[in-house]
Structure formats: structure tokens, C-alpha cells
Amino acid sequence: MRILTFYKFIKERTKLSYFLLSLVISFVLFGWTVKYGFFFSDDFTWIWHGSRIANGELSALTAHMSTFYSPVLNYFYAFMGLVFGLKAGWYFLFGILVSVFTAFFVGLLVYKMTKSSFVGFVGVALCALVGGTYEPLIWIGANMHSITALFMVISTFALLSAYQKTPRVVWWLILSFVTLVLALATKEVAVVLPVILFFIAVPYLLKEKRSFFYLKNVLYWLATSAISIIYVVQQYLWQRDSIWVTQEVWKFSPSSLIRLPIILLDAFIPLKNIISSQNAIVYFVITLCLFIYSIYKFRNNKIMYIGLFWAVMTILPVVFFKTAVWWELLPSRYMYNVRIGMIIFVSAIIVELFSDLKKKKFAYSLSVFLLITSFFQTIAMFETVKKEYIYVYQTGRSLYQISLTLHEVQPSKVVVHWHGPFNNNHAHMVGAFAVISNIPEEKIVFLNKNDNYELKSNEVLLGWDDKTETYFLTKN
């Protein structure tokens, strides 16, 4: 009886239940970052970038970080720097809250599409667990991916709300457009969002052809098309001469698309520790067969196509980066949006299985299986944290401490030895020294491996000790 009462309570308060489930999972898995996480690598560059915006040196609306353009992140780092300074916990807390709301809206989106509150719960849980897409929650500099995903999901949810004849259609369309603009203003991967929105809208527009010509709908798509074209053209002008293109780090090649099935499988199955050149072709064939079978078996399921389209489209902007092997998986942060698409994909299959009484048990089994694989992905994540992130957090703490020392010493020049963590990323040291030590870039010298440099009076050499995993200073 108590179980039935609890179930009724949950069902009557679906939205609250989704939010609480997302909140609990997110803080249980990632609450530790608020206390133990720290800045490292590009985080210091972004903080420096934000400080220059906050003091008026740069404009948040026009400033680029390298070739990267993101007014949303410009405002974020300027605001966080002014309010919280270098207290890393607040940055991690923000990242967790972004993940909480993303999972919440994914649940609402799945619920709206499938009309199943249970499948919505599965969607919330799968998104909050994040699986192998953990980087935006344990690396501050990667939270741009989860922020973009949040805006993309809200934009999609708002558009569906407008087309499903809910009240205040105009306001839903405005919300969809505003969050579209915010997504584009956060990360380039959002360039695919207008295409996704149109793909989702087509069935509704074909069903009620007259609604396409309603003024509010025409204005929405005209504005969406205009902002999308302007954005694509501007990104092309910015990126065509970037180091990524000129050095062919990113190069369009149709052969790169062969990775798609394996990348899609990695959204739920922790392939990182088990895939290799010896077995990659096996995973490829199995995955390809699974997708072909699923598409054929559920060929009349429109929601399934939306999920698959979302996943594939969010892969396309990043799949053309140079790889060492043909089957190379995407970095964790790039999978955040892909996983959302795959959640919609499997949710569509689960809800169709539920419609057949004979297949209900299989639907529950599939839901449990996905939650179990996400659990194993979480275990793999914590193994990665132990192997890699404890170290990189330590590099950030040590850089922070040595920067405080440099602030007191104020040498005439800081000479940085070539050996050390992130030794090819000079910008993060420039940022740390500028913000913490008040030492400008012109007073920093980065040595190459074979350089000989004799320290002059009041100059210091910055080195790295592998044993203690700390930076140290040497004076003349």
C-alpha cells in the first residue's frame, strides 16, 4: 500500500521527481569536485581572459579566446572571477547545477515525446549518470559542452511545446529562439541545432500545413535561418586560417564517418578500456548490425529517428579531427551531446516495446541494462580520476602556489624550463602569472629542450619536480 501511495505521489509530481532525481544523482557522483577539484591547464587561460573582460581591456561580445568565440563563456568567466575569484569550488558547483538542469530537461523532453513518465525517469537517470561524458563536470574548462547541451535541449523542448498546441505558443517560440542563440554563443557544435530543430518540426508542419504560414511560425523560422546563416559564414571566416585548419588538425574527410557506429556505441558501453586495433572491427560490425536491425524493426518510430539524427549531427562537427587510428573514440567532453541523442533514441525504442504487452519485460530489461552499463561507465570514470585527474588537479594547485610566491618575489623575468605538465600550453602559465602574480607576458621566457640560458640578477627559473609533483623556483 505504501509503495502504491509513493508511486502515486511520484506520478502526480513528475517534474519535481525528475528534478530531485537529477539533483541527487549529480551531487552523489560529482559533489566531491566542489571540495577536491581545482583549476588546471586551460582553466587558467580562461580566468585570465575573463579578468581582461572584467577590467574593460576586452569586450565580452567581441573577444576571442584564441580562435574560439563564445560571448556566453566570456560573461561567465568575467562574472565568476569578479564574484568568486580563484575559489574553484564555485566553478565546479556551477558545472554540477548545469548538469542537473540538463538531465531535468532531457527527462521533460523524453516525456513530452513519448508520453511515458517512466521512460522520462529513465532519460533523467541516464543523463544525470553522464556515463563516459564526465569531463564537463570534472574539468572546469570543459563545461562549455554541458552549457551548450542545456541550451540545445531547452530550445528543442520549447519548440515541441509550441507545436503541441500548448498555451502561450509565442512565448515558447521566443524561448526556443533565445536558447538557440545562447547555444550558438557558447560552442560551435551548436551550429547543428537549427538543422535538428527543423528535422523535429517537419512532421508537425506536414501534419498541419496551415500552421506553417502562421505569422509567428514564419517569423521564428526566418529569424532562425538568418542567425544560422550569419553564424556559419562568420565561423568559416574565423576558422579557415586557424591552426586547426592550416595544420590539418581538422580536415573534412568522408572516411572519418566510418567511426560513427563505434562512437554511438560508446555513448552507453564503456569502450575506452576494451577496444583495440585487434577487436575494433568486431565492435564496428556488431554495432552496425544493431543499428540496422533497430532502424528496420522500429522503422515507423519517428522519435527514434530524432534521437539518432541528434546523435549523428552532434558528432559531425568533431568527427573530422585528425586521429591516430580509424576507430578512435571521441574525447569525453565531445560525447555529452551525443549521449543525449542516444538517450532519445533508446527511449523511443523502450516506449514502443511497452506498447506491446508481450514485450514489456524486455522494455524493463533494456532500461535496467542501460542503467547498469552507465554504472560501469561511472566506475571507469573514477578509475580515470584516480589515474589522471588527481595529478592534473595537483599541477593546478602547485601552479597557483608558485604564482603566489612569484607575486611576492616579483622577479624581473620568469624563465620557464621546458620540462613540466602541459609544457606545450604556454597560455595557461601566462594566464596564471598575469592574474595571480601580476607578471605580464613580456616578462616570461619559455625555454625549448636544447636551449641554454644563464640567469641574470633578479631572474628566476621555474622548474617541475616529477617526484613531488610540484613547481619550484631557482634564483641566480
Residue 154 confidence (pLDDT): 98
Section 359-363 average pLDDT: 87
Helices (H), 240-279: 243-246, 260-265
- The confidence band for 308, taking pLDDT boundaries of 50, 70 and 90, is very high
Section 353-366 average pLDDT: 87
CA distance 138 to 91: 10
CA distance 67 to 64: 6
Residue 266 confidence (pLDDT): 93
CA distance 222 to 209: 17
Whole-angstrom Cα Rg for the chain: 24
Beta carbons within 10 angstroms of residue 84's beta carbon: 14
Spans of all domains in the chain: 2-388, 393-475
Residues 132-185 have pLDDT tens digits of 899 999 999 999 999 999 999 999 999 999 988 667 889 999 999 999 999 999
Q: Is the pLDDT at 415 greater than 90, yes or no?
A: yes
Q: What's the residue count for the chain?
A: 476
Residues 454-465 have pLDDT tens digits of 898 899 999 999
CA distance 75 to 66: 16
Residue 75 confidence (pLDDT): 97
CA distance 235 to 371: 38
Residues 218-266 have pLDDT tens digits of 899 999 999 999 999 998 888 877 776 777 777 777 878 899 999 999 9
C-alpha cell at 386: 584516480
- The confidence band for 37, taking pLDDT boundaries of 50, 70 and 90, is very high
Section 350-372 average pLDDT: 89
Residue 212 confidence (pLDDT): 63
Residues sharing a CB contact under 8 Å with residue 443, sequence separation 6 or more, in sequence order: 411, 412, 413, 414
Residue 5 confidence (pLDDT): 54
Residue 231 confidence (pLDDT): 94
Residue 9 confidence (pLDDT): 54
SS (H, E, C) 401-436: HHHHHHHHHCCCEEEECCCCCCCCCHHHHHHHHHHH
pTM for this model (two decimals): 0.93
Q: Is the pLDDT at 209 greater than 80, yes or no?
A: no
Q: Is the pLDDT at 206 greater than 90, yes or no?
A: no
CA distance 378 to 142: 18
Residues 66-106 have pLDDT tens digits of 778 899 999 999 999 999 999 999 999 999 999 999 999 99
C-alpha cell at 395: 599541477
Strand partners, 462: 416, 473
Q: Is the pLDDT at 12 greater than 70, yes or no?
A: no
Mean pLDDT, rounded, of the chain: 91
Amino acid at 458: N
**Helix (H, G, I), strand (E, B), or coil: what is residue 115?**
coil
Q: Is the pLDDT at 447 greater than 60, yes or no?
A: yes
